[in-house]
């Protein structure tokens, strides 16, 4: 799927576009599930150096908690802004501000690859079902809720175990 924006039609007043993108068209096949179409808002306006492009998306996703390993659903919102400029001359040096710059060579741009990059960039690395999730018990593997539970664990020393084995 392509989301084409014709730049020659864009002036200094922001122009907004709204569309929906199916989970299949997002091209994401990672460990989390996209549960519904992604609602996308694209805002483009002309600037003195090119065009300002703002992309915002929103959908519901199924994540796996990094602490307790249970699945949970959450609204996922992602957005970013970039500058679109005509292709850079090969002799021009790039600076830090060029990280947010996308160089173009046509009067139209496909926003879909940009949308996909923003979507992937803002995915949580370690999603949590709740900020106070205690995770799973390292001894028995059950989920720990509001308070930690305790187990009677023998604290045998390695030296004691080795002495017992040597005597046999």
Q: Is the pLDDT of residue 94 over 60?
A: no
Q: Is the pLDDT of residue 88 over 70?
A: no
- pLDDT tens digits, one per residue of 105-153: 778 888 899 999 999 999 999 999 999 888 888 777 788 876 667 777 6
Residues 6+ apart with CB under 8 A from 133: 65, 67, 68
Q: Name the residue with higher pLDDT: 9 or 77.
A: 77
Mean pLDDT, rounded, for 42-70: 93
Cα–Cα distances (Å) from 139 to 64, 128, 148, 151, 158, in that order, read: 21, 21, 12, 8, 19
- pLDDT tens digits, one per residue of 5-26: 888 888 889 999 999 999 999 8
What is the pTM assigned to this prediction? 0.76
The percentage of the chain sitting over the pLDDT mark of 70, rounded to a whole number, equals 84
DSSP-assigned beta bridge partners for residue 102? 84
Q: Taking a C-beta distance cutoff of 8 angstroms, is the pair 144, 137 a contact?
A: yes
Give dist(CA 80, CA 136) in Å, integer.
Answer: 35
Domain chopping of the chain, boundaries? 4-130
Give dist(CA 53, CA 97) in Å, integer.
Answer: 15
Give dist(CA 23, CA 51) in Å, integer.
Answer: 28
CB atoms within 10 A of CB 42: 19
Place of tokens 């370690």: 126
């Amino acid at each position: 799927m392509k989301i084409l924006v014709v730049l020659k039609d864009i002036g200094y007043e922001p122009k907004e576009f709204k569309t929906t993108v199916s989970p299949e068209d997002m091209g994401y096949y990672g460990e989390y599930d996209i549960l519904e179409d992604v609602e996308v808002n694209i805002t483009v306006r002309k600037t003195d150096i090119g065009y300002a492009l703002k992309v915002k998306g929103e959908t519901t996703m199924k994540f796996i908690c990094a602490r307790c390993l249970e699945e949970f659903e959450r609204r996922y919102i992602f957005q970013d802004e970039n500058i679109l400029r005509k292709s850079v001359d090969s002799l021009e040096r790039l600076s830090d501000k060029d990280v947010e710059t996308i160089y173009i060579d046509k009067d139209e741009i496909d926003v879909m690859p940009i949308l996909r990059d923003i979507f992937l960039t803002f995915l949580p690395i370690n999603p949590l079902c709740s900020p106070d999730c205690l995770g799973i018990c390292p001894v028995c593997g059950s989920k720990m809720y509001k308070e930690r539970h305790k187990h009677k664990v023998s604290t045998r020393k390695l030296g004691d175990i080795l002495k017992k084995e040597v005597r046999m």
